[in-house]
Structure 1
Amino acid sequence: MSNLLVTGGAGFIGVNFVHYWLETHPTDTVVVLDALTYAGNRASLASVEINPNFSFVHGNICDTDLVETLLIGHQIDTLVHFAAESHVDRSIDGPDAFIETNIIGTHSLLKAAKKVWLDAPKKQGLAPLKHRFHHVSTDEVYGDLSPTDPAFTEDTQYAPNSPYSASKAASDHLVRAYHHTYGLEVTTSNCSNNYGPYHFPEKLIPLVITNILHNKPLPIYGDGQQIRDWLYVTDHARGIELVLQKGRLGECYNIGGINEWANIDIVKLICQLMNTRFAANLKLAQQYPQAIQVIAGQSEALITHVTDRAGHDRRYAINPTKSYHELGYQPVESFETGISKTVEWYLQ
């Protein structure tokens, strides 16, 4: 049995991880710490709120005293750190929040973990407490790829190109430093673009789905040929589970979907899926009467090209070979099944 503290557990990936973990590890205790900023939604945790092994704490990871109290009070032995500001556009417009949460917040957690798990037992002449600090990062820390470059590996040099990715890169380095300097037992995972249920609709896939339902334009940056590797969010949760169970301390593991798509092709695919569903289920037109174009079977007419954002990376791709060989990781969901589940969740 483990006692987990999940930071950012009311956000998109954190919520899905909490649901997955409580389903697959029903005897474990899960404590969620979340500041409930704009992208955090406690309602997404409604189905687990009744679980006696679950508890929610509204608070900020920068509050080191609070984190220490939670680690001690709940006898936490595993900290899974999702909490982050994560939208590139927002980081360009206002980088300060990204520095505060992603760098200072991560350092706050590391300080609390070191004090409770390492320093306090040492003062009493005891061995360090059993623990794991797992840090969830992103493929964006590696920078940009050309169409012919090999996918990112764990040995790819960091080259972040936005305030968001730079702040995540800094947090990765802090986690590594606390392992090598103090002996904190850490692992890090770098994931590709996630998609699935509970996603805040500022990211591409949920934005396209919800805009179609409201008959709003589907904004495509530049030519739409930016390529991303897409990972179904539950497959990400499975990958983190494997890192916690089998990962080597101090190591980084890439968790990818082996599923590269250009943004414009993703949008066109979602348009087709939405057109098909509305044609097959006439009740959807009654449920979403404002969705004029998709009711007519023409949601692709909403596609609108807009000026590309500053410093837009052209391609990301993850090579998860290390995770496959060391952990036995591979995605379970195909993109066809994952995107179908995602569209259906939003429609419901």
Structure 2
Amino acid sequence: MAQNRTSSVAVPANFDRTRVVAARNPMAPPLVPRIVIEALPALLMKIKTGRYDEFGQPQSAEKQVANALQNMSVMYKTVGKAHYLPQPDFEDPAFHVAYVYQYLTKHCHLIYQMLWMLLPFGIATQWLERGVNVCSIGGGPGTDVIGVLVYLRSLRSYLDKPASERVIGYVLDKFADAWTGTWQDIRASNSVLRESQIYCRYISCDLLDDLPTAAMEEEIREADLVTMVKAFSAFIAFMRDGRDIRQCAVSKLLMQLKRGAVVLFIDNMDELYLKRRAAPSWRLRKSQNETFLQDIVQPAGLISLGEWHGSTNTWVMKDSHLQLKRYIQERFHLDWSTGLRKCAVSVFLLYKP
């Protein structure tokens, strides 16, 4: 084990038990749905009215959000057919409201659960003591950065340490300019975020371009943690003209990670990968996980700290659940669940020695 993966802090005797309880608990930390509830009014105000549908009827802000929710639901459930479906327009504020409502709680909770489950104690305490620079690949409204903060707050509380967590986020996203305002509204709407040392800077980029930009390279070299939450499957879906993922900016970026950096990969569970691992004689096309591990992880010189595959659940406290449900039914007139709650994922935690 590399020296910088250890820490002078002794591992508490009950840490492994605490790790399992935190990782397996389906209840999202109460802060996360509260962030969603408090951000929605400010985000709704950004939606322009006066838009007309295909029948010439005016669309209210609520109707625009309802349409965006339905569009994203269809697209993300059939990501393998992404070329043939209308794509979410993240320049449109209605899609920001829909995304925050539908995915922020789940994605933050996934980050929280998987860091508790897989991150070595030594690295975790270093981040708590010194702060952590997070580079989020395709991170939208800062969900990954918030998830890291929530994890560190939980760890700090467990260790009974004074509040000191610092999270500096750099989000690489094609719609960076549009997401910047949404992040500012989210942070301004919640007192915990306002008072925390949590910051987000957005860098506009297309990670399927041939080369990373200088700004992307600068931030990746400073990253202690790189997050890829439901990003890789989207990259694969949108690869065109027979291109190889190894020729894209996203793969070249990870080659520039500093020693001691960690990569957290969370994506849709890869059934083919699991079947082939159980029966190596299978000779089928390369699976999503195999593409990631062989074409990106190996050339970047990353090693595995752990992996996990399975179904996850996210619940919220009853009062938050009722508030969100009432919001979606009364404001948007949809018979909709309160955000994404269940998904099956493949998770890899990787390290640059």
Work out whether the TM-score is over 0.5. no
Q: TM-score range by the shorter chain?
A: 0.3 to 0.5
TM-score, length basis structure 2: 0.38
Q: Which has the higher contact order (CA 8 A, sep 6+)?
A: 2
